[in-house]
Amino acid sequence: MADSQPESKVFSVRIVSIDHYMAPPIPGYDICYSSFQGGKVDEVPVIRIYGSTPAGQKTCLHVHRALPYLYVPCADIPLQSDQEGDAYTNAISLGLEKALKPKGNSGSNRQHVHGCSLVRAKRFYGYHSSEELFVKIYLYYPHDVSRAANLLLVQFLIRVCSPMNLIFPFFFSFWLTITCME
């Protein structure tokens, strides 16, 4: 009698090291177009995972389509329609893109914000019985997450703003995201 167990499609790696690099997007693997930017994407982060398989083979795994992000609660802002929500997220994207551009270097073409979306989620800390409305802001550069959070907290981009999940580095938020998808 033949072995009737289904073949597993799981790839397992014992992680030794993890880092990322910025590269031009590869069609079919990466996000190549940004509707917020209105054109092609110049650079995207690619996560590199170094390690070994259970069989002892050395591995360098490249993970595409993992953009750094942060959440901004917007429960205090009444959004009546999808058009108001789109206008609000577009205003946040534009304000943040402008604020992240280097001062005095107006000719810089470097993209910072990929876009924003409205999501419903529960807060991470404390007990919260119901979901709240958040703006999920996608960025291109992992080091821009803390800069964006500081700009949102300090400057007047948003009336009442307390960005969430800022204590998580890019790689940890990546692990949280893929763990929640399983």
Q: Is the pLDDT of residue 26 over 80?
A: yes
Strands 113-121 and 132-139, how do they pair? antiparallel
Sign of the CA dihedral 55, 57, 63, 68?
positive
CA distance readout (Å), 17 to 20, 46, 67, 98, 142:
10, 14, 19, 34, 17
CA–CA–CA angle 129, 124, 122 (5° rounding): 40
Residue 160's pLDDT band, with cuts at 50, 70 and 90, is: very low
Q: pLDDT tens for residues 87-115?
A: 778 888 888 888 888 776 655 678 899 98
Q: How far is CA 11 from the centre of its chain?
A: 23
- Range scoring the smallest mean pLDDT among 22-36, 59-73, 85-99, 143-157: 143-157
Strands 132-139 and 69-73, how do they pair? antiparallel
Q: pLDDT tens for residues 1-11?
A: 455 556 667 78
Q: What is the mean pLDDT of the chain?
A: 79
pLDDT at 67: 92
